[in-house]
Structure 1
């Protein structure tokens, strides 16, 4: 063979090899995307597995909320809006299946495309997708939504925006987003951002819009009426564009959903008993057993349904603000946990029927394994050994009392830790070397009767330690304002977690979010170890590495003693009008707004 010809041949081969490699690196457009592997549902799926595709449409229901509202825009930081709105009125490019750890399927987008390294994602919009005012959903609306939410929207949208390099239109109905961050999850998060109407908001003050400026969405429902602070009426859009797409079949079956607002949970419960509310979630197992025996239940007009789930416990408890003394000292936080007589409080308020939360991801495979850290978890944590709080590597276990009211052992241990931290009891008052008393306030939201009952039992133990503790109750609007600004010492806290934690963890307890008003990092955690474990979780390329990183994060958070854990909610409890029905197949995530009322229907027979 001639040498020149040989090199030309090899050069051409190399050229075609590069082209072939590029084509192979570019994935084909798909109907869905999963965090790891392929989504469970095939391209021709009929409906979500926990939805009944032929469910009847019709009926009206009323749901209850405590507190009030002064905004109907759930996408901004300002004001308090009904939490249900973003599940009813707006849509994203893709929607989440709650029967998989983390998988998305097309809603506004008909297809999604990603390369193996997920450095970018491309979406193609469906023809016919429309806002409730009849205008088409365009690529321009999508580009506008990412920009306005990432800069003027609620802080929960800012993290993704900071990790986007470019967003460009690639065709009449397609766009590509490239990322700066190294995380498999970014492509999925990009598919979940709500899409707003550019025509409605361009040139207007989105972040400070008045109550009357209701965001126009493309979702199944529209806000048809409201009275500030009292009710919101949602009406199913008869011209909803997406009623027949697979992701929507059998969902959003109720014609009218009214959200009524009540001063507190007790008043709301009485309204439910009187038939003014159609369904009520109950989180206390003891109340579920004792209080739901009123006449409507006996007649069969009200049905009690229990919905099991396989998701992590998340964290529910009293969160301590570590930004200021005294909770900037882990020993004081541990003393607060020791003084919390869980066994006695649990027996008093739930009849010991609900197990305690033992970590942030308890009740799932993501929870840290008790005892010393081993294997990949130890490998992740060991480089930070000098920065770890006691119990992180060797294992941390919540204290247990003997169940008696006095909790003598817990109080003794709490006293010893406080002394180690520089506090001592003088004439019945816990004080430091300068004579300043150990004092703090527990902030409660008005109408939270269960949290008030827990607080009352806890305060008596704290006062036995000589701690000057006050309880302050505010209305819901002021409570949101105070917690958003981190203006509290200790307050009730609830953080739900999924089977596929991701970038939101930075917003929950990453150092960058500690001083970002409106973030979910209420405890003010600023730990390089937490940050590193989140990073390790986000760049994991295998399920094994992912689980190890989450377990290491779980250890770090739990040993951080940021929250005094309460009890788990291992089953969802819904008392409801007997005419409300739901499918037999339940999602692995159990109950939530994407289950009740999204896949329920009204059957008056």
Structure 2
């Protein structure tokens, strides 16, 4: 039997319409949801999220594979390595996000949300039935404690919001109010998305160092079941889950068990999938998708192949250069390393040339920068920073392209010219600077990351022809997390996903403050007044045109900064899975993203 390719109906063109920025609602009264711009798409009496099947059966199990391991069940601090899935499947927030809208929230632990006309404050009223997994009620005290401890001792991702909260207070038995110290309407939404922890579980502990060995006490549909650090983790659907009848949860979290098996590398993981140990596998290589899925289970129809399109930005995936290192401080050096990276040949070798390259951080969306010189509002936004902008920001910048041959002579010649301009020369076959120090650096790779290893091997040979010594260092999961958290690397693989409604989180990615904050996403260490001004312009935008212009301007600053050597992008997700695993025909705009797999999938025997 041939592969089954599902191409469900999904109106990706609706993304552009959804980005129309209508004025903020002005009335201060409790609502069932809140949108960044305009009104929520779903009415107060909605039955389910549009991409969930409210009639989906409950039961069965799904098994995923992961490379690496974990040594803690606390996903909220920098201490240790936790299963990333716990943040999404074992904990809940006051509001829940619909992934069929750019940025809209609906009541979850909170039954209503209320804001002032300028959104300088927001109130959430807790549902009286909201419970932790141990059966105890969620209280205002738990909410206020969670926000404060996460904002002061938790992972850096939580601190930006807390720093913008002027007061956090109980204004009723079940109502909390957050008043903000800055004029940023997105804060009202972000305040609804912090995980709520049970205060009593952490009493007597140093929260920042708390590496939970016992199961966390959350409020979500799943609780931690059987587990062994570094080997496997099982999440069990809570039969007493408090929110099972909420419309927001209808048709979601249908599996009785979600299991994660951990492997040393991707090859072992894929063999486990072929053998039936795993029941779902995301394929990230189109050549492999076309050539490696002809094993018996596929031919028998026991495994199906599903293609899930999406309308979100590409984000950035590639090798990031740490500009905290003097070696990468000069943009000409970074451009030279981009020119030496023979993407066309690497793409042909690894994917058969099937996958397009990421061209900018917001490519594949209306928010991405346009080719050629900056024009109109984009140019106006960037003009005050013209003297300090990287070359190409205003004039237009495109990634270097090779002729597709393995030797990439033109690319290497251009790289050498740039390196000479930056003060480097070849001496006895080595590239050295004016002081005679060699151009040498380390590429840090996580153990088991075979695709990154393959790319690195090809790249190292090209750099060797320039006289550059790139050492590839492979470390285990714990070491990799520790070193990248502390920015202790020269170059390393990097991935940042971006949404259709970028906002305050961009400061955690690109600001000067984030550059000095361990655990932030600013791995490149960039410090750019222009980037921060573009983020401010995005947050202050009152029209669709201003918002899109500010995001495209930010995209130019990031891309022309030459901080990352981009790889290929995925304009769809490719999921091979047990034929008994099903998902709704209607897909969310974000596609295979948070809230999709395993959230709205279910188990249903085919009957054959």
Contact kept in structure 2, 1:60 and 1:255, CA below 8 Å: yes
The aligned counterpart of 2:147 is 146
Are the equivalent residues in 2 in contact too, given 1:36–1:543 (CA < 8 A)? no
Measure the CA separation in 1 of the matches of 2:82 and 2:593: 18
- Within 5 A, what are the aligned runs for 1:182-581? 182-581=183-582
- Return the alpha-carbon distance in structure 1 between the equivalents of residues 361 and 199 of structure 2: 39
TM-score, reference length from structure 1: 0.95
How far 1:202 moved relative to its partner?
3.2
1:301-351 superposed Cα distances (whole Å, 9 cap, x missing partner) = 111101000000000000000001210111000000000011111111111
Q: For the residues of structure 2 that align with 1:517 and 1:401, how far apart are their CA atoms? A: 36
CA distance in 2, matches of 1:529, 1:132: 46
Aligned ranges 1:578-597 → 2 under 5 Å: 578-597=579-598
Q: Aligned partners of 1:98, 1:562: CA distance in 2, in Å? A: 30
Q: In 1, are the aligned partners of 2:79 and 2:211 still within 8 Å (CA)?
A: no
| Aligned mates of 1:563, 1:334 — CA distance in 2 | 10
What RMSD, in angstroms, separates the aligned Cα atoms of the two structures?
1.0
Instruction: Tell me if the contact between 1:439 and 1:469 (Cα under 8 Å) persists in the aligned partners.
Output: yes
Alpha-carbon distance in structure 1 between the residues aligned to 2:419 and 2:521: 28
- Distance in 1 (CA, whole Å) between partners of 2:180 and 2:567 is 39
CA contact (8 A) 1:61 1:256 kept: yes
Q: Would you say the 8 A contact 1:62–1:277 is kept in 2?
A: yes
Shift of 1:593: 4.1
> Aligned residue for 2:57?
56
User: C-alpha offsets along residues 18-47 of structure 1, whole Å, 9 cap, x if unaligned?
Assistant: xxxxxx965221111111111111111100
* CA displacement at 1:214 relative to structure 2: 3.1
Instruction: State how far apart, in whole Å, the 2-side matches of 1:482 and 1:182 are.
Output: 36
How far did 1:427 drift?
2.1
Superimposed CA distance per residue, residues 175-218 of structure 1 (whole angstroms, 9 cap, x where no aligned partner): 11011122111111100000011122234222222331432100
- Any conservation in 2 of the 1:309–1:591 contact (CA below 8 Å)? yes
Classify the secondary structure of the residue corresponding to 2:357: coil
Using the alignment, how far apart are the partners of 2:559 and 2:118 within structure 1? Answer: 32
Change (3 A) 1:273 1:25: closer
Note if contact 1:317-1:494 (Cα within 8 Å) is conserved in structure 2.
Answer: yes
User: For structure 2, which runs of at least 5 residues remain unmatched after alignment?
Assistant: 1-24
Deviation of residue 237 (structure 1)? 0.3
SS at match of 1:498: coil
Judge conservation of contact 2:320–2:492 (CA < 8 Å) in 1: yes
- Say whether the 8 Å CA contact 1:66–1:265 is kept in structure 2: yes
Q: How far did residue 512 of structure 1 move?
A: 0.3
Q: Structure 1: any 5+ residue segments left out of the alignment? A: 1-23
Shift of 1:66: 0.5
- Equivalent in the alignment of 2:160: 159
Question: Do the aligned partners of 2:361 and 2:558 also contact (CA within 8 Å) in 1?
Answer: yes
Q: How far, CA to CA, are the matches of 1:288 and 1:163 in structure 2?
A: 45
Structure 2: how far apart are the matches of 1:547 and 1:593? Answer: 24
> Which structure would you say has the larger Rg?
1
Q: Which whole-Å CA distance do the structure 2 matches of 1:554 and 1:459 have between them?
A: 29
| Corresponding residue for residue 135 of structure 2 | 134
Alignment partners' CA distance in 2, 1:403 and 1:170: 64
How many pairs were matched up?
582
1:439 & 1:283 partners in 2: Cα distance? 31
Deviations 1:253-301 (A, max 9, x none): 0001111111111100000000001100011100111111111111111
Distance 1:215 1:408 in 2: 56
Q: Is the 8 A contact 2:215 2:223 kept in 1?
A: no
In structure 2, the residue corresponding to 1:178 is in which secondary structure? strand
Shift in Å, 1:139: 0.9
Q: Distance in 1 between matches of 2:387 and 2:351?
A: 40
User: How far apart are the structure 2 equivalents of 1:325 and 1:113?
Assistant: 49
Query: Which residue number in structure 2 is paired with residue 19 of structure 1?
Result: none
Structure-2-length-normalised TM-score:
0.95
- Cα deviation for residue 491 of structure 1 reads 0.6
Q: In the alignment, is the contact (CA less than 8 A) between 1:33 and 1:39 conserved in 2?
A: yes
Distance 1:296 1:81, change over 3 A: same
For residue 21 of structure 1, what is the aligned residue in structure 2? Answer: none
Q: Secondary structure at the match of 1:57?
A: coil
SS in 2 for 1:307: strand
Superimposed CA distance per residue, residues 469-489 of structure 1 (whole angstroms, 9 cap, x where no aligned partner): 111100111111111111111
Residue in 1 that maps onto 2:114: 113
What is the alpha-carbon distance in structure 1 between the residues aligned to residue 203 and residue 493 of structure 2? 38
Superposition deviation, residue 562 in structure 1: 0.2
Q: Secondary structure at the match of 2:297?
A: helix
